[in-house]
Each structure stands twice: as C-alpha cells, then as structure tokens.
C-alpha cells in the first residue's frame, strides 16, 4: 500500500470520533505494521513532563517490557530531549540504545508536537537493516501532525 493510500486510511481512522484516542492510535499502529514491510513494531509513546518519562500508549507488534522510558535513555529518550527525528540504520552502532528484541536491526523515532511542545513520539523498529528514507520521515511527521490535531 502506498503512503498516499495509507494517509487516506489514517485520516479515516482519526475521524472515528466514536472511538477513544488510544484505540485510534492502536488502529494506526496496526495499519502501518501490517501494510509496510519494513515496519515490524510500531508504537506511540507520550511524555509525562513532570516525571521526565515516556509512556507507551499504543503499539502493534511484539509486546515490549519498555513501557516507561526515562528522558535521555535509549533512542526514544534522546528524542524526548533533542526534539529531532532520530534515524538509526544499524542499532548495533548505538551505545545509548534500549534493545527490545534481538531481531531489530534499525529504528526510527519522530517527535510529536502539540502547540510546538514535544508531547510524544512515534517509534518504528525494523528487522531490515538500513530501511528508512526521508520519505519515511515525511510520512511519520505527517502522521504525528494529524494525530496532534486530534489531541
Ligand atoms: N529501542 C528503543 C526502546 C523502545 S523499543 O524499540 C519498543 C530505544 O532505544 O529507545
């Protein structure tokens, strides 16, 4: 499925105001994980700024033990502080990395902004080495912008 068609599907999921936000986020994770070959785990973490921690709110793929991540720890925690996309072509090259599964080869984390505040992120793990392009970054930024409109 192309990014163009996936965007239409995401818009449809987000428009389902009869569903709770968490359910819509889970549906987005399931859609991306099932339709994009190199997306093997997809999740949304949201920040609790008072405790400087990220909390997993929705995901698709293998369950993870890392449902709470302190700011600064791992790829996710670094993005909570840098406010910038973090593309990791090879997770083995990262010292500050939290391993969820031995199958994971690459990761991308894109921050989610509401009113210019970094309130969370979308995190993708891939079993394919070096799979992410700028198209993935633009697509995931678009997803986060549209999720933010529904928060
Ligand atoms: N690998 C992430 C932890 C979250 S899992 O990918 C689900 C990290 O280093 O922050």
Residue-wise pLDDT for 93-106, tens only, equals 999 999 988 999 99
Instruction: Choose one of 72, 76, 88 to mutate for the ligand 1 pocket test, by most ligand atoms within 8 angstroms of C-beta.
Output: 76
Long-range contacts of 76-80 (CB under 8 A, 24+ apart): 76/45, 76/109, 76/121, 76/123, 79/109, 79/110, 79/111, 79/121, 80/47, 80/52, 80/54, 80/111, 80/118, 80/121
Q: Name the domain count of the chain.
A: 1
* Mean pLDDT over the full length of the chain: 97
Provide the pLDDT for residue 100: 87
Boundaries of domain holding 17: 3-149
CA of 76 to the centre of ligand 1 (A): 6
Q: Which residues line ligand 1 (CB under 6 A)?
A: 41, 43, 64, 66, 69, 74-77, 97-98, 100, 107, 123, 125
CATH (domain of 138): 3.30.450.40
Mean pLDDT for 23-40 is 98
pLDDT of the residue at 22: 97
Three-state SS for 91-131 is HHHCCCCCCCCCCCCEEEEEEEEECCEEEEEEEEEECCCCC
Query: How many other β-carbons are positioned within 10 Å of the β-carbon of residue 3?
Result: 16
- Tokens 């405790």, residue? 51
Residue 2 half-sphere exposure, CB side, CA atoms within 13 Å? 2
- Tally Cβ neighbours within 10 Å of residue 151: 12
pLDDT tens figures, 73-132? 999 999 999 999 999 999 999 999 999 889 999 999 999 999 999 999 999 999 999 999
pLDDT at 1 over 90: no
Q: Which of 131, 134, 112 is nearest to 121 (CA)?
A: 112
Pair of tokens at residue 28: 């987005």
């Amino acid at each position: 499925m192309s990014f163009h068609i996936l965007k239409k599907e995401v818009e449809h999921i987000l428009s389902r105001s009869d569903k709770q936000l968490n359910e819509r986020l889970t549906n987005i994770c399931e859609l991306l994980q099932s339709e994009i070959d190199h997306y093997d785990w997809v999740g949304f973490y949201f920040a609790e700024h008072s405790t400087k921690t990220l909390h997993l709110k929705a995901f698709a793929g293998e369950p993870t033990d890392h449902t709470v991540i302190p700011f600064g720890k791992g790829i996710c925690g670094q993005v909570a502080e840098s406010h910038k996309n973090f593309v990791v072509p090879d997770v083995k090259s990262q010292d500050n990395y939290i391993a969820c599964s031995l199958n994971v080869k690459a990761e991308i984390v894109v921050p989610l902004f509401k009113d210019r505040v970094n309130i969370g992120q979308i995190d993708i793990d891939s079993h394919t080495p070096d799979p992410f392009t700028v198209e993935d970054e633009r697509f995931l930024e678009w997803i986060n912008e549209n999720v933010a409109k529904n928060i």
